[in-house]
Chain A
């Protein structure tokens, strides 16, 4: 804890700002995860913590270790890059799985495959994005 006492004042203010920004945004995101009504609303909320929440805390960590070790320390940025890359992948997989489950039990809250099929048949057999998406969806089943 001793390097803290000779931390310059500007570094302390910067670290405090970025730490509180990151932690506050993460708290808001988790509060949204707790409060929002439906699953597809809820899946947006924690991304607040994994985007700017992580960025704020990582920037604070970079500033702190760069000042105390008096050299540029960039390895906390690795966590930021890793989280930024992996979060969309996991959330896309999770939301596709949730959509698949909702459609399998004919939940009226999500657009069904039947509905998409009918609209694409009415509008002729042109291969717009909806019909391509549709054919991928049926091929998977």
Chain B
């Protein structure tokens, strides 16, 4: 019984996060301006990070935790660098 509940909740959560990633990716492709694309990339990163956490719960492997930590750090750096680029036209002045 608990295995069925666990399996289905993990599957539904993974599907929901997958659809969320598709929506963020669509915003990144469609986004009328550059800042919309950067926002879509940021949402895509955070959704992928959450998907990695759910993979970790589903497989019982805590290695996925480190993957998602690295992913969130990379997403932070990427978005800050892109925002700086949009502001000044130069990342490192």
A-side residues, CB < 8 A to B, are: 1, 3-5, 7-9, 11-13, 15-16, 19-20, 22-24, 26-27, 29-31, 33-34, 39, 42-43, 46, 49-50, 53-54, 57-58, 60-61, 64-65, 68, 73, 75-76, 78-79, 82-83, 86-87, 89-91, 93-94, 96-98, 100-101
A1, A68, A94: the one within 8 Å of B35 (CB):
A94
Q: What are the nearest 8 A-B pairs in CB distance?
A: A16-B9, A30-B20, A12-B2, A23-B13, A46-B43, A97-B87, A23-B16, A93-B83
Bound form: Cα–Cα A79–B56 in Å: 13
Q: Give B45-91 interface residues, CB cut-off 8 Å to A.
A: 46-47, 49-50, 53-54, 56-57, 59-60, 62, 65, 68-69, 72-73, 76, 79-80, 82-84, 86-87
**Main secondary structure on chain A at its contact with chain B?**
helix
- Please state if A68 and B60 are interface contacts (CB–CB under 8 Å): yes
- Please state if B2 and A7 are interface contacts (CB–CB under 8 Å): yes
Bound form: Cα–Cα A13–B54 in Å: 16
A4, A87, A98: the one within 8 Å of B3 (CB):
A4
Residues of A within 8 A of B54 (CB): 19, 23, 57
- Please state if B46 and A4 are interface contacts (CB–CB under 8 Å): no
- Please state if B57 and A60 are interface contacts (CB–CB under 8 Å): yes
**Main secondary structure on chain B at its contact with chain A?**
helix
Q: Distance in Å from the Cβ of A85 to the closest Cβ of chain B?
A: 9
Residues of A within 8 A of B6 (CB): 4, 7, 12, 15-16
Q: A23-B16, A34-B27, A101-B35 are in contact. Are A79 and B7 (CB under 8 A)?
A: no
Can you show 7 pairs from A to B with CB atoms below 8 A apart? A1-B59, A16-B9, A33-B40, A39-B36, A64-B60, A79-B49, A90-B79
**Residue of A with least CB distance to B15:** A23
Residues of B within 8 A of A86 (CB): 72, 76
